[in-house]
Amino acid sequence: MNYTTQMDAAKKGIITKEMEIVASKENMKVEELRELVAEGKVAIPANKNHKTLSAEGVGQGLKTKINVNLGISKDCPECEKELEKVRVALEMKAEAIMDLSNYGKTEGMRKRIVEMSTAMLGTVPIYDAVGFYDKELKDITAEEFLQVVEKHGEDGVDFITIHAGINREAIKTIKENKRLTNIVSRGGSLLFAWMELNNKENPFYEHFDKLLDICEKYDMTISLGDSLRPGSIADSTDANQIKELIVLGELTKRAWERNVQIIVEGPGHMALNEIESNMVIQKKLCHGAPFYVLGPLVTDVAPGYDHITSAIGGAIAATYGADFLCYVTPAEHLRLPNLDDMKEGIIATKIAAHAADIAKGIKGAREWDNKMSKARADIDWNTMFDLALDKEKAERYRAESKPHDEESCTMCGKMCSMRTMKKILNGEDLNILRD
């Protein structure tokens, strides 16, 4: 039986090879996964032209996935540095990479990432449009925006961020509900500018059916961009954010009718006490579609440490329904992240994702922690290192401060509680003062 997309196959009762791969990774029955894909509650972004992909699922009942942003800009145009980030991100087992390149002809870099990446690849086509056509934003036509989307589909991109929810009605709401930080979404601000400069409707909203034609052709998942996400805790859960979310829910249903998979993007910056309710609202308004959040950052006053403010919010968001976390690095709000920034961002986000998976009861999540705890009780350093989320750092820290007694560490020495309990329970002499 033929099918056009993962969702089309799922609705027809077909088990695809991508579903089998995801089910195996998730320790889930493939039939259970197929039903979730058919309902839109799980997305498997898998462009037909991405031949190196090892498929991942995003959504209900699955492990929380993380995304790594990278890409060239006018100030930092060196492709090789960004491709090195891709290699390291893959080594660190990031499930998704987004190429946010916004300068020059980006096709070459995008194709190289598709060729080398086993992780799913995302892009934001509107970032590419100005360089692709070598035109000012105002002069790009609606048809040309769609042609860029088609090019990304041809190149093998698995999911695309499309800011289709910021329509003329939303702009009216923006002007009537003033914000402290206005529109902080780069794609959203570009579309706002295009609409105002041309006095026209958002081309991705107006021509959403044509967009669906392209995505169905390549089985490209749409990540519905949150143009009006809050960029400060002062602006969270306001009329602008909720207005757009309602539109994104409507677009989700239209996409599903065409068997196009959807992920919905969410906040942003948000105080801790608002996160749970926002996750519930999103899932309700967007019919259980997978939810992808940037953070949320829970305070605005920690530049240089926003991987931490983001991980705090991400752990809470994923506990209450978010399925996909976009990493944030220490360089957020300050500069393009370097390789070390990227590593810190990945680790912080993986910690958040895993903490949430424990809370959600995801299969196998707690077992990892139990193995680490047993290794600590056994004072089995090699096993501890093998189980560590960041093995290199754990080994380096221990090597930098060698204990007198190899069993313990330099924090407690022979007063180590694990050492004490192990020796006493084994009927051995404790021997704290003597060599």
Beta strands, E only, 179-313: 221-224, 262-266, 291-294
Spell 306-329 as b/e; 16+ CB within 10 A means b: bbbbbbbbbbbbbbbbbbbbbbbb
How many CB atoms within 10 Å of residue 227?
29
Are the C-beta atoms of residues 409 and 416 closer than 8 Å to each other?
Answer: yes
Residue with tokens 């009537």: 176
Q: Please tell me the distance from the alpha carbon of residue 390 to that of residue 396, in angstroms, as a whole number.
A: 10
Give binding residues for Zn(2+) as ranges: 269, 333
Distance CA 29, CA 63 (A): 14
Rg of the Cα atoms in the chain: 23
Cβ-contact 241, 177 below 8 angstroms? no
* Angle, CA 319 vertex, CA 316 and CA 322 arms, to 5°: 90
Q: Tokens 């948000």 sit at which residue?
A: 270
CA distance 306 to 254: 36
Rounded to whole angstroms, the Cα distance separating 118 from 94 reads 10
Annotated binding site: 69, 98, 127, 163, 185-187, 226-229, 265, 269, 292, 333, 409, 412, 416
Tokens of 407: 């069993």
Which residues carry a binding-site annotation for [4Fe-4S] cluster?
409, 412, 416
Distance CA 128, CA 119 (A): 21
Contact between 307 and 329 (Cβ < 8 Å): yes
Q: Which residues are annotated as a binding site for substrate?
A: 69, 98, 127, 163, 185-187, 226-229, 265, 292
